[in-house]
Amino acid sequence: EPEVTQTPSHQVTQMGQEVILRCVPISNHLYFYWYRQILGQKVEFLVSFYNNEISEKSEIFDDQFSVERPDGSNFTLKIRSTKLEDSAMYFCASSLQGQGETQYFGPGTRLLVL
């Protein structure tokens, strides 16, 4: 069964450094998402992406964040200058269609900012 994959599984970085989290969505899906989950808290929406542009973003997704689909398979989340509070599990998800469709989640990347 096709699944969403994410790399790396864990990332440790110094405050102020740039990180890129990578995701390979399910191949025929058209909508892509990033969520994050701070330890012990609920999963929070960051951004949705369709047709090579952001379709929706939350207030968390400020200028430090960016997303890109650099080729036909990868979907990346870049954090330009990491802060301690960016430490979280980051989940990528994809769906075949948009609003209301089931989103399939990847295993997540655990980011630790020191």
Partner 1 sequence: KNQVEQSPQSLIILEGKNCTLQCNYTVSPFSNLRWYKQDTGRGPVSLTIMTFSENTKSNGRYTATLDADTKQSSLHITASQLSDSASYICVVTPTSGTYKYIFGTGTRLKVLA
By CB under 8 A, residue 65 contacts partner 1: no
User: Applying CB under 8 A, which of residues 11, 13, 56, 60 lies at the interface with partner 1?
Assistant: 56
User: Applying CB under 8 A, which of residues 19, 25, 29, 35 lies at the interface with partner 1?
Assistant: 35
By CB under 8 A, residue 106 contacts partner 1: yes
Asked whether 53 and 43 are in contact (CB, 8 A), the reply is no
User: Applying CB under 8 A, which of residues 45, 60, 64, 69 lies at the interface with partner 1?
Assistant: 45
Burial 63-76 (b: 16+ CB within 10 A, else e): eebebebeeeeebe
By CB under 8 A, residue 1 contacts partner 1: no
User: How many C-beta atoms surround the C-beta of residue 84 within 10 A?
Assistant: 9
